[in-house]
Amino acid sequence: MVDAFKTTTSSLLVPTTTSVSPIPTVIPNPPHYEKVGETGTKTLWVAFVIMLVSTIAFATLSYRVPVQKRLFHVLTTFAVVIATLSYFAMATGSGTYYAYHLAREHHKHGIPDTFEPVLRQVFWVRYVDWALTTPLLLLDLAFLAGVNGANIFVAVFANIVTMLTGLFFAYSENTSQRWGWYAMACVAHLVVIYQLIVVGRRAVLGEDRKAATLYVSLGAPSLVIWTLYPVVWAIGTGARKWSVDADVVAYAVLDILAKSAFGFWLLCAQASAESPYTSIGGFWSHGLSTEGAVRLGEEP
């Protein structure tokens, strides 16, 4: 009996080996990167080549006209030069930084929503390009229409505000903040559109009929192209419905139309013998006058 009691007691007190499931560990999802691919990279190089060829062509055309009539050539050439530098930077991987946001995924049957960190590649150099080149293109249209200085200043300032708020929109992490910047960019863009449609049309009516025809033929397509930029912003950068490659292709097509195609159209029209010319004298053509100039080493 004693031996039986010891054996029974021992079996109850000594722990037996059992299989225990491991405690699950929670590992956060690694960030998902949305970046340019092979299609986007090739597009950037193609756009760079087109802008470079446009630069050479516009510079060549500018030397074929007198300096008094070279205003549009200089403005348009400067625009494609900046675009050439911008696309070279993007094609070689420069001028870019990732924008962070949380992608929310909804689940059914009472399962909590999950969030995935997403890092989307944004080329900030593109916004620097637009902030510098679009005012030059605005000056082309404003000078062609004969818009006064005050309205030109308003249009250029509103255009710069559009590009700055667009940059803030691209890098906003909060959804409400992002669309708030987008709304401000659209309001500033409407100011630019108003200056070109209402003020520009009113000013060009007092000019030569050929100048008015050229202004309408250039201004109408330009306004359509410029208005497509906010649409691409909303679909790609805002709603993230497009890939980065799709953004690159869309922006490249718009940039080529807004800069290269616009420039060729304007300069070819200016080269026509029947088209109006803007002739500028004074400092633009002849430099500073020697009358009244103070020379070094002389008594005032």
User: In this structure, are residues 277 and 83 in contact, taking their beta carbons and an 8 Å threshold?
Assistant: no
Provide the residue-wise pLDDT of the chain in tens; the chain has 300 residues: 555 445 554 444 555 555 544 544 444 566 777 788 999 999 999 999 999 999 999 999 988 888 888 889 999 999 999 999 999 999 999 999 888 766 666 556 665 555 667 788 999 999 999 999 999 999 999 988 888 999 999 999 999 999 999 999 999 888 888 899 999 999 999 999 999 999 998 888 877 777 788 888 888 999 999 999 999 999 988 888 889 999 999 999 999 999 999 999 988 887 664 445 566 666 666 677 655 454 445 454
- Please state, in angstroms and rounded to a whole number, the distance separating the CA atoms of residues 257 and 221: 9
Q: pTM (2 decimals)?
A: 0.81
Which positions ≥6 away from 131 have C-beta within 8 Å?
159, 160, 163, 164
Rg (C-alpha) for the chain, rounded Å, is 31
Among 122, 115, 119, CA closest to 33:
119
Among 43, 50, 222, CA closest to 123:
43
Give me the phi and psi of 121, to 5 degrees please: -75, 130
Task: Show the tokens assigned to 37.
Answer: 């691919």
Strands 114-122 and 97-105: antiparallel
Amino acid occupying residue 78: F
- Please state, in angstroms and rounded to a whole number, the distance separating the CA atoms of residues 241 and 234: 9
For 31-276, which CATH superfamily applies?
A: Rhodopsin 7-helix transmembrane proteins (1.20.1070.10)
User: In this structure, are residues 87 and 47 in contact, taking their beta carbons and an 8 Å threshold?
Assistant: yes
Q: H-type helices in 233-291, by residue range?
A: 244-255, 262-271, 283-286
